[in-house]
Each structure stands twice: as structure tokens, then as C-alpha cells.
Structure 1
């Protein structure tokens, strides 16, 4: 059994809850990420995490969809419960 969280330094607590993962990132995006990390003096993982947090925290907007068109197909050509009338209508085509 380890120390209670209250006795573990904050920096180490922060490390306890991180997950390491592998991602496939386009070479061009990775190059830009490296440049930006060097420019800001921050680790690439910090920039990726920051970008993911912003992406996931943005409000989800849903576009209002237009009403679907409706058509008046007219009246029934034949009473489908009348078998003879139905056969006559099908043969007439």
C-alpha cells in the first residue's frame, strides 16, 4: 500500500493520472507541432493535450435542418382491397 495522495507531492500526483498512448500523426502536422513546441519552449505532449482539451470543451452546435419536402401523390388509382380491380390496374400498365 502506498502513501495517501495528500502526502504525495502535487507534481507526482499529476503524473499518476496520465496515460501514455501512441497516435499516428501526419508528417506535416508533426513537423509543425515540433516547430511550435520549440518556439513556445513546451513539450509536444503538452501542446497536443491543450489542443485536445480545447477541441473537446467547445460547445457542440447542431445546424437546423430544413424540413423534408412532401408531395401530394394524388388519390389512390385502385382500391387495393379489391383484388380484381388491382389485377386490372396492373395489367393495364
Structure 2
């Protein structure tokens, strides 16, 4: 899609240098920069999710203790 935008001379100069350095078109460089900016701003706009925690009196079982784990899971046969 073609469009017209106003870009500061120094920014366009840097975009042209980057395009030449990376063997890309100026349009490709500008599009990539705009996409990167949009991803960053959309990520920053997301609200951080906080998982609520509740006091439970600490750990109830040591998951490294095979016999205690079997007992907690209702399997009373020892784990080999």
C-alpha cells in the first residue's frame, strides 16, 4: 500500500543508511521499525497479571519424599 508521510530529514537519512547497510529498501526498513514500535507499545499497554496467593501454613508435603507423596495421592503402596 502506498502512502505519504512526513519524516524528519535526519531520520530519513539514517533509514537510508540502514537500508544500504542491510541491502534492503528504505520502505522495508521503515516498515520494520514501525512494526517493532507497535509491538513494544502494545506490550507496554498490557496490564501485568498478578496471581493471588493465600497463606496456607507452608508446604504440606515434600514432593521429593516418594512415600509421603504416595500417601498424599491415596496410593498406599510404596513406590519402588
Show the 5 A alignment for 1:10-49.
19-49=1-31
RCO (CA 8 Å, sep 6+): is it higher in 1 or 2?
A: 2
Based on CA coordinates, which of the two structures has the bigger radius of gyration? 1
RMSD of aligned alpha carbons? 1.4
Partner Cα separation in structure 2 for residue 41 and residue 20 of structure 1: 21
Moved over 4 A (4+): none
Give the drift of 1:49. 0.6
TM-score by length of structure 1 reads 0.44
Which 5+ residue runs of structure 2 have no aligned equivalent? 47-80
Distance in 2 between residues matched to 1:57 and 1:32, nearest whole Å: 21
1:60 maps to what in 2? 44
After TM superposition, the score normalised by the length of structure 2 is 0.50
